[in-house]
Structure 1
């Protein structure tokens, strides 16, 4: 009897001939780029450095497209966005020590948001591995230890033969649910040494599937079809799993209102009769979800932002579908289903009986009316006008990338993403500087659509170097900078907590003049002209900057009368 695992693909005559006579002048770096190409990669991001030069020289001999940014953290943000937009693992090439460490904050965001980034770093020469103090430039006692608490998996290479398998294992790890960043490190001497190994061809790194256990979906289906007031919270896992269509089918079948988290923006149609939209930071919405007798949470760990800052106290049964095992029941007890959102929703669709509930759309309308009334009472017309102008100027199918800034906090709740995988922000880890470099990565991933980046002036100062990148590659990104003279949200937090802010005010450049010094057109706008100026910038090929001087305020989650 022949078993599947006994089947071995025999090399063709041409493959055998090529393997016996590899081209001369190849090194460990060539094995890296050949493996990436064999896995299906077409584009790599990164920044060169002394120990990594073997990898970068090999790019010259490959068909991979290289996009170089000016700061490693920004290169990782660009790779993060490329991974989100394409659903593919995004290779990120880095050097040792300071170069590697500078990417950490962005890799933390990729981990929090489940973005598949394949970071490949150089290391000191093999003789310096093992925690010694050999005095090599960039040397760390244990470089991989700096990443182990951030990425999904760490892979250290010591020989040429290990390179293809290590990269393939990392690729598989990055794309197995939940997606995430992974780390491979290769010593300088291994990258530079000539290799006699054959050219790497096709690699198999098919991600593992994560199906739900049938007894759990049977129980979940029973609870949902017999619920009196079911509701659904849809998180980023729905977007990453490309499961928004199945979510809509299930919600309609059981007549369950759906709210999306900041990471799940666009996972459910904004104007659907069952759409609670995404007012997670709202007491009325929190009350509505607490009143559900069965609450289905799909692709969310119900963390701080998704639980209205841990004020959410569900009174009914909770069913949680989550690919990250550590997040199951981590904040609320319930029926935890460890599974990919798409496979779990499909299993529920095959199991659950339809449920009739004519009152559900009316309850949704009532809730949204309460939210609108609450916002209207807070005299925030400037903020709503600015957000409306952005939505009108941005083409419906264009992605947008938002930094941690007051307008982004508004967007989490009040912005119609017009579809899944179109609105992205740094809400996973919450670091500054995400918006613009991420938008550049998205423009590389799909050059057919203009991309919008939104930053405050504080976050913009993290990313100004990448104006050179945008110009160098002619990337079609419009960067909206809301200039309020400081760290606006921190100013609000400190004023609320202590009566006055400290360390929040910033001296900043003339952003229009700065953009123009990079050869990027810039314009200063007003709330009244924002829609027109943004629309013009978005329809003009190449990068552009739009600066809006405005002091925006955050809404309060309840009416403070």
Structure 2
């Protein structure tokens, strides 16, 4: 009998010839590049630093496309945006110490949103490792310790021969569900040293599947098939698993209403008769979920925002499908199914008994009418009209990226994304400055599609430098900056200290980078945004206005 582990891949004649006569002058940096190319990478993000020069020189000798941003944090956000759109592992190349540490907020967002970012950082030369203080520039006693609690896994290569295996293991980890950022660390002398190791030609890193246990999906299917009032909560895991189609099939088989979390926007059609949309910060929705006798949660941990600030207390049975074991039953007891959303939904589709509930669309319409009536009782016409204008201007399949600003908070609940995987925001980790650099990464991933970024003036200041990146690579991103003179959302929380900001003339500043800019009004926003999105290359639209949030309903 032959077992899989007995099989040996024999080199081809060409591989053998190449191995016996490697090109001269190759370094550890070339081994990194060859491994990335062998795994399928075509694009890398990052910016060079002293200890990482051998890595960047190797990139320059290759056919990899380097998108160099102006700060490591923004490079990480750009890699995140590219990874969310493509589902591919995205190399992020970093230098030692301050450069590496600058990427932490971006990697935290990638971790919260399950974006497969492959961070590869240099380290001080090998003699400086081990916790001592040798006085190397950028030295940290244990650099990887700063990342270990943020990323999925940490990988090190201390010799050139370890580089291909370390990079491949990290690649596999990043793309094994739940997707997430990983960390690879290589000392400067290892990257710089010439090597006689053969060219990397046989790379393979197959992600592991997370299949559901059949006895669990059988019980879940039984509960759903015999439920009186089933409801589905669809999170970001549905988007990452490319499972929106299977979710819709299941909802229609069961006549089960569906609400999407803010990270799951687009997982279910906004105008479908069973769509509860995304009004999770509304007590009407919370009550609807609490009234359900079976709640199926797919690809969500029911965290703070998804549970209306932990005011959701289910009274019926809960089934939770979640690829991240740490999130499984972390907030509510449930029938926990540790699985990829796509595989689990397929298992349910093959097992459930269809049920009919002619009254379900009417209950959905009643809830949405109640939400609309609540908003109508507040003075919120401006905010709703602005979202309508943005939706009308944005092509249906164009990706949009939203920063932590009032218009984005509105969009989480009220914006129709039209299609799966087209609306993204920083609400996973909640850091400022996400939208514009992430949109740049998306524009690299989909160069023939206009991309929208939405920021407030406070968040925009984190990303101004990368107007130069947008111009340098001629990326088709329109950046809408809502200028209210400060951190408007913090004012909404009642904070008057440190929230008023001096800011530049954004239009003039954009023009100084060679990026066309328009100052618009609420009345002209739709036309100005439409024109900017139709015009190839980067552009900026500035909207001076002050917005309000709808009243909280979780108190």
TM-score bracket for the superposition, by shorter chain length: over 0.9
Alpha-carbon distance in structure 1 between the residues aligned to 2:339 and 2:378? 41
Per-residue deviation, 1:12: 1.5
Per the alignment, residue 14 of structure 1 pairs with 14
Per the alignment, residue 413 of structure 1 pairs with 413
1:166 and 2:161 correspond: no
1:49 and 2:54 correspond: no
Say which SS state the counterpart of residue 25 (structure 2) adopts: coil
Say which SS state the counterpart of residue 306 (structure 2) adopts: helix
Report if aligned partners of 1:479, 1:544 keep a CA contact under 8 Å in 2.
Answer: yes
Per the alignment, residue 111 of structure 1 pairs with 111
Say which SS state the counterpart of residue 356 (structure 2) adopts: coil
Per the alignment, residue 194 of structure 2 pairs with 194
Say which SS state the counterpart of residue 185 (structure 1) adopts: strand
Matches within 5 A, 1:496-515: 501-515=496-510
Per-residue deviation, 1:275: 0.2
Per the alignment, residue 98 of structure 1 pairs with 98
Consecutive unaligned residues in structure 1, runs of 5 or more = 496-500
Matches within 5 A, 1:74-93: 74-93=74-93
Say which SS state the counterpart of residue 276 (structure 1) adopts: strand
Per-residue deviation, 1:157: 1.0
Farther off after superposition, 10-19 or 28-37: 10-19
Per the alignment, residue 345 of structure 1 pairs with 345
Where does structure 1 differ by over 2 angstroms across 4 or more consecutive aligned residues?
557-560
Give the length in aligned residue pairs: 555
Say which SS state the counterpart of residue 454 (structure 2) adopts: strand
Per-residue deviation, 1:516: 0.2
Say which SS state the counterpart of residue 233 (structure 2) adopts: strand
Per the alignment, residue 389 of structure 2 pairs with 389
Alpha-carbon distance in structure 1 between the residues aligned to 2:304 and 2:4? 46
Matches within 5 A, 1:486-505: 486-494=486-494, 501-505=496-500
Alpha-carbon distance in structure 2 between the residues aligned to 1:447 and 1:390? 21
1:553 and 2:532 correspond: no
Alpha-carbon distance in structure 2 between the residues aligned to 1:262 and 1:223? 26
Alpha-carbon distance in structure 2 between the residues aligned to 1:529 and 1:201? 56
Consecutive unaligned residues in structure 2, runs of 5 or more = none
Per-residue deviation, 1:502: 1.0
Per the alignment, residue 328 of structure 2 pairs with 328
Per the alignment, residue 498 of structure 1 pairs with none
Per the alignment, residue 399 of structure 1 pairs with 399
Report if aligned partners of 1:397, 1:422 keep a CA contact under 8 Å in 2.
Answer: yes
Per the alignment, residue 147 of structure 2 pairs with 147
After superposition, give the CA deviation of every residue in 1:320-365 in whole Å (9 maximum; x if it has no partner). 0000001111101110100000000000001110011111010000
Per-residue deviation, 1:2: 1.8
CA RMSD of superposed structures (Å): 0.9
Per-residue deviation, 1:534: 0.3
After superposition, give the CA deviation of every residue in 1:482-505 in whole Å (9 maximum; x if it has no partner). 00000000011025xxxxx11100
Matches within 5 A, 1:463-482: 463-482=463-482
After superposition, give the CA deviation of every residue in 1:189-214 in whole Å (9 maximum; x if it has no partner). 00000000111113110100000011
Say which SS state the counterpart of residue 465 (structure 1) adopts: helix
Per the alignment, residue 183 of structure 1 pairs with 183
1:261 and 2:261 correspond: yes
Report if aligned partners of 1:455, 1:481 keep a CA contact under 8 Å in 2.
Answer: yes
After superposition, give the CA deviation of every residue in 1:497-551 in whole Å (9 maximum; x if it has no partner). xxxx111000000000000000000000000000000000000000000000010
Matches within 5 A, 1:52-63: 52-63=52-63
1:532 and 2:527 correspond: yes
Alpha-carbon distance in structure 2 between the residues aligned to 1:82 and 1:289? 34
Alpha-carbon distance in structure 2 between the residues aligned to 1:558 and 1:144? 42
Alpha-carbon distance in structure 1 between the residues aligned to 2:198 and 2:328? 45
Report if aligned partners of 1:250, 1:349 keep a CA contact under 8 Å in 2.
Answer: yes
After superposition, give the CA deviation of every residue in 1:269-323 in whole Å (9 maximum; x if it has no partner). 0000100001011110111011000000000000011001111111110000000
Alpha-carbon distance in structure 1 between the residues aligned to 2:552 and 2:357? 29
Alpha-carbon distance in structure 2 between the residues aligned to 1:219 and 1:122? 49
Alpha-carbon distance in structure 2 between the residues aligned to 1:112 and 1:43? 23
Per the alignment, residue 270 of structure 2 pairs with 270
Report if aligned partners of 2:126, 2:189 keep a CA contact under 8 Å in 1.
Answer: yes
Say which SS state the counterpart of residue 288 (structure 1) adopts: helix
Alpha-carbon distance in structure 2 between the residues aligned to 1:2 and 1:527? 70
Alpha-carbon distance in structure 2 between the residues aligned to 1:66 and 1:48? 11
Alpha-carbon distance in structure 2 between the residues aligned to 1:268 and 1:287? 21
Per-residue deviation, 1:8: 1.6
Matches within 5 A, 1:220-259: 220-259=220-259
